[in-house]
Amino acid sequence: MNTMKSLKRKLMYEGLIFKVWQEEYEIKSHTLKRDIVEFPETCAVLPIDNEENAILITQFRYPLKKELLEIPAGKIDPGETPEEAARRELMEEIKMSPRKLSKIGVFYLTPGYSTEKIHIFIGMDLEKAPLPEDLGEEIKIHRIPLLELKNLMNKGEIEDAKTFLALLYYFHFYWKK
């Protein structure tokens, strides 16, 4: 049951990708403020190559000042379905397209302060289909055996949440080993 009542909403910042709002609301006769990041919907795909390997990427994540091992992902453009965006992201980031795309689910990444919702897929039966990569992305493509990825997860070396979630789902519901 929602007992919060919105009182005021003020745009604090509008950037290239997201907006930051400050909202004032009332709950149990107390007035509180909260900063909220309004972020577009995104998608991510775990590409599986021949049921033995996954194709992941590394890219430098500027806010963290380091590279992360991740599944391909990106924003869903206006007018684009999550499935179309997922296929496009794979073509941009790993130069392949899945003949089979299965949706894992839709998740909120950080609901305490952001509206970002991500659609996560598993892509299989991959074929070459390159698209130019996005400006500003320096992506390295890695074909990694699934057993090695499972070991990286067990050692806490998969730090990206969407990647961890997609791998966990794949190992639980798809993997036959």
Catalytic residues: 133
What is the dotted CATH code of the domain comprising 42-106+116-174? 3.90.79.10
What DSSP string runs through the chain?
A: ----EEEEEEEEEE-SS-EEEEEEEEETTEEEEEEEEE---EEEEEEEETTTEEEEEEEEETTTTEEEEE--EEEPPTT--HHHHHHHHHHHHTSEEEEEEEEEEEEES-TTTB--EEEEEEEEEEEE---PPPTT--EEEEEEEHHHHHHHHHTT----HHHHHHHHHHHHHT---
* Domain spans of the chain, in order of start: 5-38, 42-106+116-174
pLDDT in tens, 19-40: 999 999 998 889 999 999 999 9
pLDDT in tens, 152-174: 999 999 999 999 999 999 999 98
Is this structure's pTM higher than 0.85? Answer: yes
